[in-house]
Amino acid sequence: MAEVDTGSKPAQNRLPWWMVSLAIAAVVAITAALAMFIPHPYGIAVLVVALIAFICAVALNPMYRYKLAYNSIIAGWLSVRSIPSIEVWNPQVKDSPLFKLSNEVNWSFDIACMVIACILLMLDYLVREPNRWQSLIKLNGIQLFSNNNSPKAENGSQQVNLGNVSGNGNQINISLQQTASDFNAEIDVAAAYLKESKPDVAIEKLKELKRRHWHVLTDREKYRIAANIGHAFNQKDECSTAADHYVEAIQYLAPGEERLSLEATAYFLQGKNEDAIQIAKSCLNDFPSNLMARAVFIRASADSVSTDELEGEIPVHLRSSFEVLDALFLHAAKRMEFPKAEAYARRLIELDGSSRHSKMRLGAILASKSINGKMGRIECAAEEVHRLADEAVTLLTEFIAHEGPSTFSKGYSRYHRALAYESLDRNDEAEADLRSANELLPDDQEIRFQLGLFLVNHDKHELAIQHFAKTETEGPLSQSKILLGRLLLSRSASGDLE
């Protein structure tokens, strides 16, 4: 399934940090200058009000808050110190000046400014360059600056979640209030694990981010977290769970293209093909180039709809896109249109030679083609059967050696490699793969039936009877039960007829 674009979007209507910093510094300098004209204690009151305004300005501008604060303090300090001492004397009055503006500020003012600026500078460096601090600080389970100020580490976590940081190790777990860019950076880091076929790692990181910061995230960030968790479960072939997270993500999207395409995907993963087609059509009517909606429409279409018909409805400039070709491959494979499915799979590999799933799918279709040729269901010369089976074994063995965490993919690849082995008369290896696939996917009726049928075809009737008796004791009448009945009738041992 194609993935939605969950890329971060820049915050809107937010001034650059340096503009806000300069503005605050100017306010501090002007206030300090004005306070010199105001007699005690009113001058102190003005400075207190200015300090409150300064704190509020920093709090309301979370973007680069530490850099903003220490720049403002340094700039304000320099401004105060640069104010010249001015005295205007009246020649007629020699005791006191007519007007006096002095920059004689106590030295404690300088120390206070420098200490505060250094602290803020260190905090900013800690947030932006945490890896440097990790090599210096090796504390376990200490949580600084947390909302509850508890020294106890939550769930034994030792993971730093500050800005664009990821990874595990003996690190301080610091929970500073983060900015929009920090959260998006963490989401990007977690989502990157999906490209490495590590959905469990992505899920763990995204759920941790959701647990700790959900109340301060924007709708866009909440959408990105929920959608990427959905992608991770989709990568694990846990379709129902993925759909639940897509449904959650939808509520944070405004009506439009992105929402419609994700809604169609959720319906499809829930098995509601008619609803998925209806939503996908609605999206394509307004946004005909939407690849996700197009892929959902193809995959949800009934088996009776020909692949040629579906391809003919696709705009020419979209027919070579990965998402569309992948959906066309799956539809052709479902209809057992082997030549078309093979052609689509090879084009997918041409587009992305690193896609192991595309190679696995090509191997699966070649294995199906070879076994059908060997059984005489399709016209295929013996040499071609061997060529197809050899290529299928190579592709599927490569995938199995580097497979991801998806149980479905593990069972699916072994099942089709078994078909290829059987086409090559490597029956022991075929049986081993069939049994492995049956263990991985015990509820898959097709794999169960094919394992039993394989045992029957190779004169292992007792093993076939044991297999069918163990897996088909309950449920409606099926091919497996019919075959078990015939085996028992053929054996006619005591109790078989009953």
Is the pLDDT confidence value at 261 over 80?
Answer: yes
pLDDT above 70 as % of the chain: 57
Place of tokens 């720049």: 71
User: Could you say which DSSP state residue 276 is in?
Assistant: H
Is the pLDDT confidence value at 135 over 80?
Answer: no
Distance CA 307, CA 158 (A): 52
Q: What is the pLDDT of residues 390-400, one digit of tens each?
A: 999 999 999 88
Is the pLDDT confidence value at 373 over 80?
Answer: yes
Q: What is the pLDDT at residue 7?
A: 45
How would residue 18 be classed by pLDDT, with cut points 50, 70 and 90?
low
Which residues in 20-162 belong to E strands, given as ranges?
86-88, 99-101
**Coil, helix or strand for 100?**
strand
Structure tokens at 85: 């001492």
Distance CA 335, CA 304 (A): 8
Angle between the 199-213 and 219-235 helix axes, to the nearest 10 degrees?
Answer: 150
Q: What is the pLDDT of residues 235-260, one digit of tens each?
A: 888 899 999 999 999 999 988 999 99
Helices (H) then strands (E): counts for the chain: 22, 2
Cα separation values, 105 from 45, 110, 111, 184, 456, Å: 17, 8, 11, 44, 99
Distance CA 28, CA 55 (A): 11
Cβ 24 vs Cβ 8: under 8 Å:
no
